[in-house]
Amino acid sequence: MTQLKNKRILVIVAGGIAAYKSLELVRRLRDADAAVRVVMTQAAQQFVGQLSFQALSGQIVRSDLLDPGAEAAMGHIELARWADAVVIAPATADILARVCAGLADDLATTICLATTAPLLIAPAMNQQMWQNAATQRNIATLLERGAVSVGPDAGAQACGEIGPGRLAETESILTAINQLFTLPTLSGVRIMITAGPTQEAIDPVRFIGNRSSGKMGFALAQAARDSGADVHLVHGPVAISPPTGVRAEPVVSAEEMYAAVISQIDAVDIFIGCAAVADYRIEEPVKQKRKKSEQTLNLTLTPTRDILRSVTQRPSPPFAVGFAAETENLLEHAQSKLKKKSLDMIAANIVGVEGSGFESSDNELHVLWNGGQKLLAKAPKEIIANQLVGLIATCFGQRPS
């Protein structure tokens, strides 16, 4: 986190059960030699006390807009001008709505309205509140105004429900804050990313599919967006929401994904084939549901079209990045695919092991390109995505015209 040294980070803690996680965020920011000040909403203090944040930040914690001592010197304006970045973590549905509306009825919202520093939002709330149209509209509006968002993650929540709404991991928030002080490396670059599985119909009810969740491809789309790229995300059927600020195009089958890619590939600078595209499809899917019987069912499979090869064989192909999901001989298979499909780069990972790859929130990638390779050690997929996009930007910039 070299970009955070001596940076002045104002952390706004809103009133959600995830407020306690912001203690770790403040500690890690101080470890990175950042100067940290904390503002808590009145609701946040019902979850965590001011003294905890004061001990970790080394600074008085502010919460009252009309504090006579601080406001004698226009304290809310002083804080707004002091900050190099303002981070709301956790960002509840309430504070998102109030900041979006431009309210200034407490210290936190007043600072957000008065600052010119970049604003980073780490949402955390009940999964239904997050998916509500009003919340999605508010977050989209804030992003349009230049705010940056990280998370939320999906999983079990304190209320007992399961879904998107968990505060992003501290490491992911730190990476996002760090990137606020890094100049966009892909500004104006057009990137197409494929993500998730494809489903190949057997009949109107059944299909052939795979275990891809789309998490890696969606994380890449967010990382590319944060690097300034114009991102087009073509994704198969998944249970997660696309990152805001990217153009998402849902498809179902390998043939549909092929058509979506090829129809616009000539306008793309970088293509990242992260989708787990089915290798085979049913030669003749039936139009009515197949009834179960005691007889053996034989299905005739035919190969799907090779999207990666079709991209790299264009007259003027984009910088092409492929993925290789393997269960053995990882580097050997990855090197072979890199050459066979004329790729500029390939990211290979082992699947079928617990805690990494398909359906996991973590990943580990061996990245190979002509003249180099690098191991991206196991970490949350958001972190891996940021590292991989950085490598892609470097190699893309060195590519001959």
Q: In terms of Cα–Cα distance, which of 188, 113, 110, 118 is closest to 146?
A: 118
Q: Are 99 and 115 in contact (CB under 8 A)?
A: no
| 357 pLDDT above the threshold of 60 | no
Q: What is the pLDDT of residue 99?
A: 95
> From CA 149, how far away is CA 147, in angstroms rounded?
7
pLDDT tens, residue by residue, 169-180: 999 899 889 888
Q: In terms of Cα–Cα distance, which of 307, 308, 347, 354 is closest to 331?
A: 347
Name the band, by pLDDT with cuts 50, 70 and 90, for residue 69. low
Q: What is the pLDDT of residue 72?
A: 47
Highest mean pLDDT among 91-105, 149-163, 347-361: 91-105
User: Matching CATH topology for 2-180 and 190-398?
Assistant: yes
> From CA 273, how far away is CA 281, in angstroms rounded?
19
Q: Are 367 and 388 in contact (CB under 8 A)?
A: yes
CATH of 2-180, one of 1.10.760.10, 3.40.50.1820, 3.40.50.300, 3.40.50.1950: 3.40.50.1950
> From CA 71, how far away is CA 65, in angstroms rounded?
8
| 216 pLDDT above the threshold of 90 | yes
Q: What is the pLDDT of residue 2?
A: 61
Q: If you average pLDDT over every residue of the chain, what do you get?
A: 89
Name the band, by pLDDT with cuts 50, 70 and 90, for residue 308. very high
pLDDT tens, residue by residue, 199-212: 999 999 899 988 88
Q: What residues does each domain of the chain span?
A: 2-180, 190-398
What is the architecture, at CATH level 2, of domain 190-398? 3-Layer(aba) Sandwich (3.40)
| 379 pLDDT above the threshold of 50 | yes
pLDDT tens, residue by residue, 252-285: 999 999 999 999 999 999 999 999 999 999 988 8
Q: Are 181 and 33 in contact (CB under 8 A)?
A: no
Catalytic residue set: 159
- Average pLDDT of span 107-131: 92
On the 0-12 / 13-18 / 19+ scale of CB atoms within 10 A, 324 is buried
Residue 276 is classified by DSSP as B
Q: What is the pLDDT of residue 298?
A: 87
Note the pTM of the prediction, 2 decimals.
0.62
3-state secondary structure of 376: strand
Highest mean pLDDT among 114-118, 140-144, 251-255, 378-382: 251-255
| 73 pLDDT above the threshold of 60 | no
Name the band, by pLDDT with cuts 50, 70 and 90, for residue 74. low
